[in-house]
Structure 1
Amino acid sequence: MRVPSRSPGQRPGPPAAPARRRPRGPVRPPAATGPDLDAYRQAVAELLVEVGALASASSTKARQVLIDQRLREPALAAVLDATPQGLVGARETLLLEMARYQPNTRSSAADLTALVRIYLLSRVDVMWWREAATFLTDIEVRHSVELVDLDWLRRRDLLNFRYTGQPRNLVGRGVRALRRRMLPDATPRTAGLLFRRARREVVALLNDLGREFAAVTPAGTPPLWVTSLVRSAEHQYRLRRLGYAAMVPSGHCLGWAADLEMQWFDHFGVRDTLAGLLLDRQRCGEINVVDEGQAWHICLAPTATARLRRAYEAEMGI
C-alpha cells in the first residue's frame, strides 16, 4: 500500500462530521468467555441437514417441531439465550422468517435451508455485540463520529480493498447498467454501498485481509471487494421489504459487519483461497463467517477490536 507523503506532524484523517445525537461512547467488549462456538456451528450444520430433508411444503409442521426441539439443545441454546432476544425470541423469529419465506432473485437465501443457516450463524454477531447500540436511521449513520469516510481514505490510497457506491441518480444508474452490458464480468454484480462509511477497526480488518489476499493470489488478481458495510436499521427494513434476507437484529446495523464478494472470484480461480483466509480467521476467533452464496458475511469479534484499532491508528499515522 502506498502511503502519501506528508509534512511532520500532519495527521491524515477524514474531517469529522458533527454528530446529530449525543455520542454513545466506546463500546465495552463482552468478556472473552462464552458459549462454545465450534459446538454451535457443528450443531447448526447438523440441523441444516435435517431441515433440507423436510423442504417440501407438506413438511411445514414437521419443520416447526424440529426447530422447536433442536434449538433447545445445549450447544444451540447457549448462544441463542445470550442474544438480546433470548432463546424464545430467537426461536419465534426464526419460525416467523421461515413462514414468511418466499424465494426471489434478490435474496441471498436460495432456499429454506440457506435461510436457517444465515439466521442462526448470524446470531453469533448479535451475541458478541449484544450491548452495542444500533444505528437506527440513515441520518445517524451519515453523521456518526464512530465512522470514517471511505471515499476520503480511498482518494489518499489508504485502502487495500475495493467497493462501489450506489448510484445517486437516474443518470448514474443508467451508466452502471451500460457498463454491465458492455463488460459483464469486469466488476461484481452488486448494488454497492449506500453508506460509504465504516468503523476504524473494520477498515483495519479489511486492509489486513486485503494485504493477505494479495500476497497469496497470482499477479493480476483483483483486490478484495466489499459489497456491504454499516447499515441503519431503517435501511435494513427497507431491504427486507425489497425481498433481501436482511436479518434483524444485524451486525451491519451495529457497524461491526461486512459482506465480501466471493462468487466473482471464481473467474480468477481464487474463491477458495479467499474462503480459506476467512475461515482461518474464524478458527482463530477474530471473526464470525456466514456463507451467503455470492457474498460471505463477516463480523469482527469484540476481542479483536483493540489490536485492530491500534493497527488503524498506526496506518493513519495517528
Structure 2
Amino acid sequence: MSPTTPGLHHVTAIAGDPQRNADFYVGTLGLRFVKRTVNHDDPTTYHFYFGDGVGTPGTSITFFPWTDGGRRGRAGAGQTRTAGYLIRPESVDYWHDRLADEGVDIDRTERFGETVLRFDDPDGIGLALVASDEAADADVRPWDGSPVPADHQLRGFHGVTLAVPAFDPTASVLTDVLGYEREDEVDGRRRYRANGGGPRSVVDLVEADGRGQSGVGTIHHVAFEAVDVEEQERWREAFADHELTATDVVDREYFQSVYCREPGGVLFEMATTDPGFTVDEDVDDLGSDLRLPQWLEDEREAIEAQLPPFDGPTVASGDA
C-alpha cells in the first residue's frame, strides 16, 4: 500500500529578473525571503525561497531566476498552471485593494464555494488567493517583518491547478499513488483532495490543448510532502508499481527529494519535512547571505562572480 501525503511541500517556478522577483514576493505578497542559494544542477543560477516566518513546509514558493536571455515559457498541457495560497475570508477586500494599488490585474471569481482572486506575478506566473475557513487551520508562522499585517498574511498553500492533456492518466496517479480522492467537478475543473483534507491538500485538474514549454513565466514542478527518506523509498516503489520511473533520493540540503514525471507531463517531487531552512542559518538570519551546499563551497568565489547583482528584496519604507 502506498503512503499518503498531507499535500504540498513547495512549488518551484522560473522567474526572470531576480530583483523584481524578490521585490514582488516580499514587498507585495508579504512572504519572507527565507533562503538565497543556487540551483544545485546549475550553480550559475540563483535559487530563491519565499515562505512564512520560518519557511514551514507547505508555505514555500521557490524560483530559478533566469537572467541570461532564458527563453519564455509557453502555457499548455503538462504544466502546473496556477499556485494558490490560502487567505482568511475576512482578508479578501484587503488583498483585492492591496494588489490593485500595486497595479496588478485581478480576476475575482467564485469556485467550489470559495472566493478566488486570480492574477499573474510580474513574469506571468499564475497565482491565486483562495478565501477559505481552512486558513484558520494552517500550520504557519507569521513573519514580524512582513509589510502585510499578521492577520492578513498568506496562510500557506491552498493547492495547485495542473493542466493536462486528459484527466484520467494524471488522476490515476493522484488517487492510486498519492492517495488523493476526487471531490467535485465544476465547469471542466476536477478537484482532488489529499487524504485528511485541510490546508495545502487541493489539486485541481483542467484539460488543455497543446504541450506547454518550460521557461521564464512557468512553474517548473510541484512538490508533495514526504515524512522522511524511508517513506520516499516507498513512494519510489509506488511509482514503479504504476510503471513510472522515479529518481533516486537527491540531497537538496534543506530536504531530500525524489522526482517523477506523471503521465500528463507534470514534474512531481516528493520532498521530506526535515531538516528545513535553519540547518545552515539562524531563524533571524534567514535569507541574508548566499548559502552554498558544502560540496560547492570550494567554488564560492567563481560562483559569486557569475551570479547577477542582487541586493536582497526591497520593502518600501513605512510598509513593514
Q: Same fold (TM over 0.5)?
A: no
Higher strand share: 2
Higher helix share: 1
Bigger Rg, which one: 1
Higher relative contact order (CA 8 A, sep 6+): 2
